[in-house]
Amino acid sequence: MAEKKKWMPRWFYQLASPRWSYEIMGKLLPWFAVAAASLLAVGAVWALLFAPADYQQGNSFRIIYIHVPSAILAQSCYMLMAVAGAIGLIWKMKVADMVAKSCAPVGATMAILALATGAIWGKPTWGSWWVWDARLTSMLILLFLYLGVIALNSAMESEATAAQATAVLALVGLVNIPIIKYSVDWWNTLHQPATFTLTERPAMPAEMWMPLLVMVIGFYCFFAVSLMMRTRNEILHRERRASWVRELIEKQ
């Protein structure tokens, strides 16, 4: 046991306490809320009013400032859900289960947003709302995976069993994430390759990708806010019999 403590930082073990997590999330929440609001406001104004129009697509390309962040987030949210689920399975950490459960609806919403904005952009650009292209299909599969996770979670009565079962399903579904990432190269169809890669400079000019970067970070902050609010609700709901929750409610 003493051996283990050297490997894992102390806060990791503290996160196992629902009360500690509730309080630390309460402290972090306003900072992330301010960051999300300001980044999204700055990014949206910059992207919609000041970024140059595309030489081929005109102003219709501006929807990527919503489309790309939501698509990125839909994928990272699944990763977070699977990792949180794995932590819940391995360390039997209740808070990790709650985080995993709170991820699913947010991720599903992001996937729907990405698909919807993609369809709206596709109509003037490709001439149709929907194209059976590898990336679109993969995003649709990702949405289906989210819906399966949500369905399984709500079908089980015991919260602990539901959390474990969804964690297994999320880990199995994680196989889908690399397929999404590499599907563009595999099938090589209509959709353009990823806008951002870590290794290469973006093909867009800086005036165009800078607001996109701001939007992506803003979306991440918004995601953090939404996730923390959901998780705090979940903690209160599941720990409703604990004395500290009762005290908290009586205070208000």
Q: Does 91 bind another protein (CB under 8 A)?
A: no
181 in Cβ contact with 168 (< 8 Å): no
What gap in Å lies between CA 70 and CA 72, rounded to an integer?
Answer: 5
Place of tokens 């709650």: 98
Shortest spacing between CB 111 and another protein, in angstroms: 12
The binder of another protein chosen from 34, 48, 155, 206 (CB under 8 A):
155
Q: Does 148 bind another protein (CB under 8 A)?
A: yes
Shortest spacing between CB 108 and another protein, in angstroms: 13
Q: Does 84 bind another protein (CB under 8 A)?
A: no
Q: And the tokens for 236?
A: 């209160």
Candidates 65, 69, 35; CA nearest to 51 is 65
Shortest spacing between CB 105 and another protein, in angstroms: 16
Q: Does 165 bind another protein (CB under 8 A)?
A: yes
Shortest spacing between CB 190 and another protein, in angstroms: 16
Contacts with another protein by CB under 8 A: the residue count is 25
DSSP assignment of 8-51, as one string?
Answer: S-HHHHHTTSHHHHHHHHHHHHHHHHHHHHHHHHHHHHIIIIIS
Residues that bind another protein (CB under 8 A): 89, 137, 141, 144-145, 147-148, 151-152, 155-156, 158, 160-162, 164-165, 168-169, 171-173, 175-176, 179
